[in-house]
Amino acid sequence: TEAALFDYSGMTLRAVGGNIESALAHKDKVNQLAMDLNKAVAEQQYNMGGKEWQRLFKELLPGVLRNGEIPPLSKEAIDRILARR
């Protein structure tokens, strides 16, 4: 939806901060992260809604921007991230 796309774009811009070079260098990986999270939700492997998706994206995006790598999105890894407060 448009609202979800706006949230995704806004979160990406906030995470980028002043590091636009890194965002441009890893833009394909940022998009891949979003698609991978969407796939996890679509496969219903996890009981996840929009808030959980956003939280995962916010947690994982800085690492993607830093080194261009998407960590494995296993059930255990996702559960570990969502368990943090």
pLDDT digits 0-9 by tens, 13-69: 666 666 677 777 888 998 899 899 888 877 766 677 888 888 898 899 889 988 899
Closest CA to 12 of 48, 75, 22: 22
CA angle 55, 61, 3 (to 5 degrees): 55
Q: Which residues contact residue 32 at a Cβ distance below 8 angstroms, ignoring those fewer than 6 apart?
A: 70
CB 83 within 8 A of CB 51: no
**pTM (predicted TM-score):** 0.76
